[in-house]
Amino acid sequence: MGATSGIGLRVAEIFARAGWMVGMAGRKENVMRNLQSDYPDRIRYARIDIDEPDAPTRLRDLISRLGGMDIYFHVSGICYENETLSPEREIATTQTNVVGFTRMIDAAFRYFRSRGIKGRIAAITSVAGTKGIGGLPSYSASKAYQQTYLTALDQLAHIQDLGISFTDIRPGWIRTPLLKADQIYPMTMDIDYAVVRIIRAIIRRKRVCVVDWRWNLLVGAWRVLPNRIWERIPFRTSTAVEQLCRKSSEKDIK
């Protein structure tokens, strides 16, 4: 879900090349159509906007055309740098990263539960979910929500003895075409480097995976830092960071 750019597109291509049946979903039909032409026997696709109420129905239709689903991988999300607290941007981020996320993760959970399938739900969240970042308030809060929601559903799956498992993938900054080619960003990862680790986390059924080890160390430090200290750190974002946050986005920043 969110397979028409960045991480989602690359993962879809790699799985198809490896011989998997892949269901691609996103808003850009031409991108999905082009990849399907390369793997006509392995790819099915559907135009799905996770902000729309009919998105779960469209997902079920895609699953039917695939002949079933073993892994649901959620990549869709948006991010705005928003120090001015523009209501439109904060609400849009919440709508996609919280409401849309919940809509689709729940749809996948219900699918597995209703059929007694021991499926896997994997999602790209973010290292930003560790602490609230001043320039990205709605984004960092939405990523914390996603991480907590996956934990709650993991517990629910155990309570109901469903056998559904979860993978929470928390990447740091990844180099995509959305970043300026001549700009240097701290601890930025090449997309191929990051995607290998993302796929490995899914295949190895890891519960939580921070990509990569450098970000894992940094997140560990963030986590133990008292809020009273964190809140006084003059951490500022920039337009470059805003572009970076769009690495898994299906929507244009207005």
Which residue, 107, 102, 100, 144, is CA-closest to 125?
144
Helix, strand, or coil (residue 74): strand
Helix, strand, or coil (residue 206): coil
Q: How far is Cα 209 from Cα 198, in angstroms, rounded to an integer? A: 8
Residues 6+ apart with CB under 8 A from 232: none
- Total-model pTM: 0.89
Q: How far is CA 114 from CA 23, 106, 151, 232, 251, in A?
A: 20, 12, 20, 48, 31
Q: How far is Cα 179 from Cα 247, in angstroms, rounded to an integer? A: 9
Q: How far is Cα 92 from Cα 98, in angstroms, rounded to an integer? A: 10
DSSP state of 170: E
Q: What is the C-alpha R_g of the chain?
A: 18
User: Tens place of pLDDT for every residue, the chain, 254 residues?
Assistant: 999 988 999 999 999 999 999 999 999 999 999 999 999 999 999 999 999 999 999 999 999 999 999 999 999 998 888 888 899 999 999 999 999 999 999 999 999 999 999 999 999 999 989 988 888 899 999 999 999 999 999 999 999 999 999 999 999 888 754 444 555 556 888 889 999 999 999 999 999 999 989 999 988 888 888 888 888 887 655 443 444 344 334 443 32
DSSP string for 18-33: TT--EEEEES-HHHHH
Q: How far is Cα 114 from Cα 102, in angstroms, rounded to an integer? A: 18
